[in-house]
Structure 1
Amino acid sequence: MSESHPHSSWRRWVVLAAALAGIAVTASLGRWQLGRAAQKEALQAAIDSRSRLPAVMLNETSRPSDADPALLHRPVMLHGHWVEQHTVFLDNRQMNGRPGFYVVTPLQLSGRSDAVLVQRGWAPRDVQDRTRLPKVPTPAGDVRLEGRIAPPPAKLYEFDGTASGPIRQNLDLASYEQEIGTSLWPVSVVQTAVANGGPDDGLLREWPAPAVDVHKHYGYAFQWFAMSALMAGLYVWFQLLRPRLRGAR
């Protein structure tokens, strides 16, 4: 009977190590989800705060060399003309749970040589023909826009990063700048109103807030912490309490 003691002791140490590792990993994942939730809430707070600042007159502002954090998420007013031939339809974007495109067009600023990338809105995708482009009216001449300054369009995962043509998965600002031969701002403008208050262009502009899914991260955090507590409870029951109860009996 004494020969089994070393094996039993070794097994207990393995179980302890596995339990501690599992508890540490799940607790770490729970903290990471809480951190993600805090980041999104802080970003939303910054957006809400900067949205109350006076609008930036983009045509009167010098183009920065990089994305100035002080400009991001502020309201903006600008005017110029659309460079319609360089419109890009970013695929696999959703709005209100529907798949479609983000319509992105450079706007050449009036009286200047530089342009800014405008995220004009969302258009639905043709479910029968994925290559069919939605018809988006693009007025000619000088247009005036209202929106907010934002980072360049967010990128989705793709296998081939060399896409070209009007339909693309992602848009790299530096490569796109060389492609169109025009200096672009290192930020984009998310359009919030129809140009010049003119007729509806059919695009949706119900842009999602960064913290709109913050409850998801809290839910994931609860699941990870619950799993961590479950592993700790199972270890205490099967390795500590249950053997003592058996011995007492």
Structure 2
Amino acid sequence: MNPPPIAAEQTPASAARPRWLILLAALALMALTARLGWWQLDRAAQKRALQAAIEAQADAPALPATALPADEAEAERQRYRRITLQGQWLPQYTVYLENRQMQGRPGFFVLTPLKLPAGDAVLVQRGWLPRDMLDRTRIAPYRTAEGEVQLEGRIVTWPSRLTALGAEASGAIRQNLDFADEAARVNTALRPFAIAELDQPGNAKDGLLRDWPMPAVDVHKHYGYAAQWFAFCALTAGLYVWFQLIRPRRRQPAAGPD
């Protein structure tokens, strides 16, 4: 009978190889998580710069009516700037965007085109009205001035779209507002942006609420993500030191006396 084969002894080089692989894997994971942490800090810095730009635009002096943007690109450059306008309301084209909140309450955004002296029009987000909880089609009373009016507002984008269930309504109460459809309905040249009207002495008693919030860029979430990635990096380092350095030494038998 042949003797059983003798297992080959593990050389020091082969025994050390897994430790080097574990070290390289730990260093790679630490580098990745640290890089992701710094990337989140960089995103936070970009968001802080964006917030500062928004606040600078909002605090700048009001533009004259002649500076009203002509196209969407120009409106984006002047976004959140205050502007003074003159014109006449076109109340027959007023639209009520439903499911819009203000101060935590559901209601409607009231949007009315303002006919400008040049003959074209711009959509004005005039204010907010509360929703009647018993009858959603009942619009709370408010006042619309006749004749030439002067108002101050902020240049904003076209009203944002909400998720619609089923076909879009076509009456005065809408879920969303399409620019091309609205321009065809008003039957006049319509600027491709909107104006959020601000409170002023002339409209203080028209029954509309205008507590428009400025956009928040949410910088703090990036600091939270960065803290998580740096915690993962520190955890990887701590686990490597414990399992590869401290624990093996603690398990070694103490040397006896000679």
What TM bracket, shorter-length normalisation?
Answer: 0.7 to 0.9
Question: Is the contact made by 1:177 and 1:184 (CA closer than 8 Å) also made in structure 2?
Answer: yes
> Which residue in the other structure is 2:187 paired with?
181
Match of 2:65 among 44, 50, 57: 57
Which whole-Å deviations, capped at 9, do the CAs of 1:15-57 have from their partners, x for residues lacking one?
Answer: 66555555544553453344233212211112212xx25x413
Structure 2 CA distance for aligned equivalents of residues 10 and 120 of structure 1 = 66
Structure 1 CA distance for aligned equivalents of residues 110 and 202 of structure 2 = 19
Which whole-Å deviations, capped at 9, do the CAs of 1:191-234 have from their partners, x for residues lacking one?
Answer: 1235x826611111122123xx35xx232122111101110111
Q: Which runs of 5 or more residues in structure 1 are unaligned?
A: none
- The 3 A distance-change label for structure 1 pair 93 and 181 is same
Matches within 5 A, 1:1-249: 20-25=31-36, 27-49=38-60, 52-53=61-62, 55-58=63-66, 64-69=70-75, 71-110=78-117, 112-139=118-145, 141-159=146-164, 163=168, 164-193=170-199, 197=202, 200-210=205-215, 213-214=216-217, 217-249=218-250
TM-score by length of 2: 0.73
Structure 1 CA distance for aligned equivalents of residues 68 and 245 of structure 2 = 75
TM-score by length of 1: 0.76
Structure 2 CA distance for aligned equivalents of residues 153 and 62 of structure 1 = 15
Deviates more, 1:38-47 or 1:8-17: 8-17
Q: Which runs of 5 or more residues in structure 2 are unaligned?
A: 1-8, 251-258
Paired residue type of 1:191: E
Q: Percent identity?
A: 31
Structure of larger gyration radius = 2
- The 3 A distance-change label for structure 1 pair 243 and 34 is same
Q: CA deviation at 1:181?
A: 1.4
- The 3 A distance-change label for structure 1 pair 90 and 36 is farther
Question: Is the contact made by 2:100 and 2:107 (CA closer than 8 Å) also made in structure 1?
Answer: yes
Deviates more, 1:97-106 or 1:229-238: 97-106
- The 3 A distance-change label for structure 1 pair 199 and 62 is closer
Q: CA deviation at 1:240?
A: 2.6
Structure 1 CA distance for aligned equivalents of residues 229 and 69 of structure 2 = 50
Structure 1 CA distance for aligned equivalents of residues 175 and 44 of structure 2 = 27
Aligned length in residues: 237
